[in-house]
Each structure stands twice: as structure tokens, then as C-alpha cells.
A = this chain, B = another copy of it.
Amino acid sequence: MNINDLTNKLKEKNIKVSFQRIKVLEYLNNNRTHPTVDQIYNDLHLEITSLSRTTIYNTLNALVESGLVKLITIDDNTSRYDIDTRNHGHFKCQTCKNIYDFKVNIDSLSEKELKDFEINSKDVYFKGICPNCSI
């Protein structure tokens, strides 16, 4: 996805296009590591010295609200963000703290009990030790 595509995504969701918002979206597009606000801020701040943390929070809240970005709460204390909104699972290594994506057929889950519930998002979080750390 290039900047044009990102711009169009914002327009589709009626989020006004700004330099900062494009930069945040571009960052998420290039960094599929489920970054925290702090990671985004620290990296983008190097390039855009005037950038404020509040802008990142505002932007991410708008992006999540619109459905363009997925909020990940696999961490106890810190929100993480994922531009890949397709159904997939997240595995967090308790040693190296890395978060891995994995394919999972979330829709195959049988949930008859929820037939009267309106479901807006589904998340699958696994925790454990990744191969790199289990040696």
C-alpha cells in the first residue's frame, strides 16, 4: 500500500487527511510488529520533531473507531495496534515478548449461545514460549 492508498482509506472512512495521520497509518503499514503508542511515537518523533504523543493517541483512536486498525489488548498494560484487520490470531511469547501472527479460522468457532448477540470483533490470543526462546 502506498500513500495514495492510505489516503483513500482515510477518505473512505470520513477521517480528514492530515500529514500526521498519514504518517501513523504508514508506520503501521510498514511495521507489522503490533507496536505500542510509545514505539510509534519514538520512531516517528525522530522524523517529525513537532509530533505530539496526544496526536498519536487521537489518531489511533480514530483509526480503531473507524475499523481501519485493530486494537490488540494481549498485553496487560499497554495497547497495541495492527493494521491487518483480517481474522488472525496473536501469540505472545512470555520470554521475548514478541507477538506473532498465526492463521486461525475464528469463524469456525461454534457459539450458539451468542445467536442474539451482535458481534463486532473477534480476537484470539495465545501466550507461551516461542521456538526461539524454548531452546
Contact = CB atoms under 8 A, between A and B. Distances in A.
Interface of A: 71, 73-76, 79, 89, 91, 94, 100, 102-106, 108-114, 116-131, 134
Interface of A is mostly: mixed
A117 B129 contact: yes
A28 to B, nearest CB: 17
Given A89-B111, A111-B103, A128 B119 contact: yes
- Copies of this protein in the assembly total 2
A128 B120 contact: yes
Contacts of A105: 109-110
A119 B113 contact: no
B126 A121 contact: yes
Given A76-B73, A109-B124, A123-B125, A117 B130 contact: yes
Nearest to A127: B121
Contact of A110 (B104, B116, B123, B128): B104
Nearest to A74: B73
